Homo-oligomer: A and B are copies of this chain.
Amino acid sequence: MTDRVVLAYSGGLDTSVAIGWIAERTGAEVVAVAVDVGQGGEDLQTIRERALACGAVEAEVADARDEFADEYCLPALQAGALYMDRYPLVSAISRPVIVKHLVAAAQQHGASVVAHGCTGKGNDQVRFEVGIQSLAPELSCIAPVRDLALTRDKAIEFAQAHELPIETTKSNPFSIDQNVWGRAVETGFLEDIWNAPTKDVYSYTQEPGQSPGPDEVVVAFERGVPVALDGRPVTVLQAIEELNRRAGEQGVGRIDMVEDRLVGIKSREVYEAPGAIALLTAHEELENVTLERDLARFKRGVSQRWSELVYDGLWFSPLKRALDVFVAESQEHVTGEVRMVLHAGRAVVTGRRSETSLYDFSLATYDSGDSFDQSLAKGFVDIWGLPSKIASGRDQRTRG
């Protein structure tokens, strides 16, 4: 029986050519798998037919949008995940859900190898391969671009020679990856880090300077899950989609940064994540109201580590799972509403209310109704400062 390779298929030039390229170089049959994580573009059936037309023996397509929102975007939201305090892990969280579908297809179709379209210098090869090996240690991985010398020029040549039903002329100046959680743009003139992004870099967001009037939105959360916008119940996917539209119109969520890749180099990345940034902003402020101080302080470290792990391709690792239960526990009381104004590139919280708030007006107020016993303060201050005081006394004594 012929060996089978499951290929992560996007419908674009590189992976369309990869079907035949892999078949030629390895002798295996190729099963194409395309996963919809909200990247837009062509419909899944069109993609499926192209895969078959390009030589795939089987082609699977999956609408994983709700799965992606519920099981990947939501944990990232609850973790407050921003790699290097800025990047909401757009591509990083989409790889594991694609991996799940690839592995399922490999098991279903009896494939022993999984192929993906990544190069050898990015993070995504790691996310794919470590994910696959974690879910199915018996599978091996292959990357035609990295391992089978499939360059862009050879891909165009191959497509033309084999008359593949895929456009080879349109050359995008950028390398792009997108899904419902956001959009990542790199390469091209952005590789000169002194260059500013031009308008054509963006697609999910309008120019902040040309946005319409302010758009006020009330986001309701229950235990850390966004459940309503302006009082209308939503699924997580709907919340992201609606805020992608509304915050995107206002130019919210553009990010331009130099970032540390796992493979040891720095790269320049431009992201758009209007819905993600709007939700993260609202969620963070609701946590400010509902999380106890020590928990909130420690959670910042958890958030950073979670982000690094997921960025670094370790979604399916034991530590990631243990951090997930920590985060889940922290969300128990993150219930309430946040009012936010979206405008001209900014998502600004203007109000918050919660039945589970730890903000206590009677303790906080300086007006009548103040219930804070200020006579306790002196004792607190003196004992709080005692270690510093003793150390300073020591320093002065031993210096003199």
A→B interface (CB under 8 Å): 84-85, 119-121, 125-126, 129-130, 133-135, 137, 146-147, 175, 187, 191-197, 208-209, 214, 254, 256-260, 262-268, 284-285, 288-289, 291-301, 304-305, 308-309, 312-314, 316-319, 321-323, 325-326, 328-330, 333, 339, 343-346, 348-353, 355-361, 363-367, 370, 372-396, 398
Contacts and interface: CB of A to CB of B under 8 A. Distances in A.
A224 to B, nearest CB: 13
Contact of A377 (B85, B120, B193): B120
Given A380-B379, A389-B137, A391-B317, A289 B258 contact: yes
Given A135-B392, A321-B329, A383-B263, A339 B194 contact: yes
A146 B208 contact: no
A188 to B, nearest CB: 9
A350 B120 contact: no
A332 B347 CA distance: 35
5 contacts: A120-B374, A134-B391, A191-B366, A193-B352, A376-B378
B375 A120 contact: yes
B359 A292 contact: no
Given A129-B385, A378-B379, A383-B377, A316 B366 contact: no
A266 B294 contact: no
B318 A292 contact: yes
Contacts of A191: 361, 364-367
Given A266-B358, A304-B300, A326-B325, A385 B133 contact: yes
Given A298-B319, A314-B294, A321-B329, A130 B388 contact: yes
A268 B363 CA distance: 12
A107 to B, nearest CB: 12
Given A266-B359, A300-B85, A352-B194, A322 B318 contact: no
A341 to B, nearest CB: 8
A343 to B, nearest CB: 7
